Structures are given as C-alpha cells and as structure tokens.
Amino acid sequence: MLRFEGTNAIKKSKDALLVRTLLMKVMNNDHSAFHELYDHFSAQLYANVLRMVRDTELAREILQDVFMKVWEKRENLDPEKSFNAYLHQIGKNLVYDHFRKLALDRKLESQFTEADSEAYSHIEEQLFYKESNQLFLAAVAKLSPQRKQVFTLCKLEGKSYHEVSKLLQISTSTISDHLLKSNKFIKAQMQIAESVLIIFIGFLGL
C-alpha cells in the first residue's frame, strides 16, 4: 500500500513537472507544447463541461474556446499555479456566459414576438376597419333613391331634420321613418357582409 502511494506521488510530481515545462514552452510560443497540453487535459475538461451543458456539440465548442483563450493569453500563464484549475475556471466562465446569452436571447425573442403580435393585431384592425367602411358604403348604396338621399344628408353630412325637410320638401316624420328603415337595412347588410369577411380573414390565416 505504501509502495503504491509512493509510486502515485512520484507520478503526480512528474506530471506537475511536465505541465510546468510545457507551460513555459507555450509562453514562448511553442505550438507543439500547446498541443501536448491539449492532449493531456482536454478529455477531463470536456467531461466536466459536458456535465454542465448536457450537449455534446456545445461542450466541444466550449472546449475549443477554452484552449483558444489559453493560447491568446499564453504570456499571462503562471507555471507555478494549477493549470487544471485555471482551465476549469475558464470553462465554467464560458458556460455561464453561454447561459446568460441564451437567457437574454430568449427574453429578446419574447419581446420581439410580443411586439410583432401587437403590430400584426393593429394591421388586422386597420384592415377590418377599412373593409367594414367599404361594406357600410356598399349597404348605403343599396338603399332606395330617396332613403339614400335622406340618410346621406342627415347621417353623412350632418344636416338637421328641419334642414332636410325644407330641402326635399318632405315632413320630418317621413325623414324619421326613412332613417329608421335605412338603419335597420344597413345593419342587416353589415352583419351578413361582416360574417363573410370574418370567415374570409380566418381562411387566409390573418
């Protein structure tokens, strides 16, 4: 047992010496030493990152980013400190950055979706208003000539019963009767036409 522990300690000491040597070479722009470090640490780092993100492609991407950062900041490496701990800290930071960005993207997507929905509803309302106005004018056009004239003067031009009575030489009671029947007719026409419009809009998926 003591022999095994002693052998293990010697192995760890040799590994630590090897890593320090490789780090010093990397600090001097040695690509070969950098690849040796990658081969030595990448498997364990990948396993730890994969445990956090649970996505093999993402874990590989973060693994590459970790070692890219190591190479970019190679002049700041400290051979006397744990390189393994240094790698895992970079990996953890990149994982956190990924999830923060993911949360932000989802929030922005939700905001854009909500804005698009509101804009779409506004467009739909405008379309419906425009179509309803056209249906209203079409219903007015179907009135008998005198009723259309009375309705236009009173409802569209805003003239009083007295003014229309003098203009058309008819009684105010006749005007009232024309308007009552015109309103009833237009309302019925609008209800029929709007039902068809709603079905048509639904068919188009608006």
- DSSP labels, 115-178: HHHHHHHHHHHHHHHHHHHHHHHHHHHTS-HHHHHHHIIIIIS---HHHHHHHHT--HHHHHHH
Structural domains of the chain, count: 2
Q: For residue 75, is it within any domain?
A: yes
On whether both 157 and 91 belong to a single domain, the answer is no
Q: For residue 126, is it within any domain?
A: no
Cα three-residue angle 169-174-176, rounded to 5 degrees:
120
pLDDT at 175 (0 to 100) = 87
Tokens 């400290």 belong to residue: 78
On whether both 85 and 10 belong to a single domain, the answer is yes
On whether both 157 and 60 belong to a single domain, the answer is no
For residue 172, give the CATH number of its domain: 1.10.10.10
pLDDT at 161 (0 to 100) = 84
Range of the domain at 86: 2-107
Q: For residues 181 and 161, what is the distance between their CA atoms, to the nearest angstrom?
A: 16
pLDDT at 189 (0 to 100) = 76
On whether both 75 and 171 belong to a single domain, the answer is no
Sign of CA dihedral 126, 132, 138, 141: negative
Q: For residue 41, is it within any domain?
A: yes
On whether both 8 and 68 belong to a single domain, the answer is yes
Q: For residues 51 and 64, what is the distance between their CA atoms, to the nearest angstrom?
A: 16
On whether both 20 and 94 belong to a single domain, the answer is yes
On whether both 19 and 65 belong to a single domain, the answer is yes
pLDDT at 203 (0 to 100) = 43
pLDDT at 128 (0 to 100) = 55
State which of 64, 83, 107 marks the end of a domain.
107
List per-block mean pLDDT (blocks of 10 residues) for the chain, which spans 206 residues.
48 76 93 92 92 89 92 92 92 87 65 50 53 74 87 85 87 85 81 56 44
On whether both 20 and 83 belong to a single domain, the answer is yes
Q: For residue 176, is it within any domain?
A: yes
Q: For residue 198, is it within any domain?
A: yes
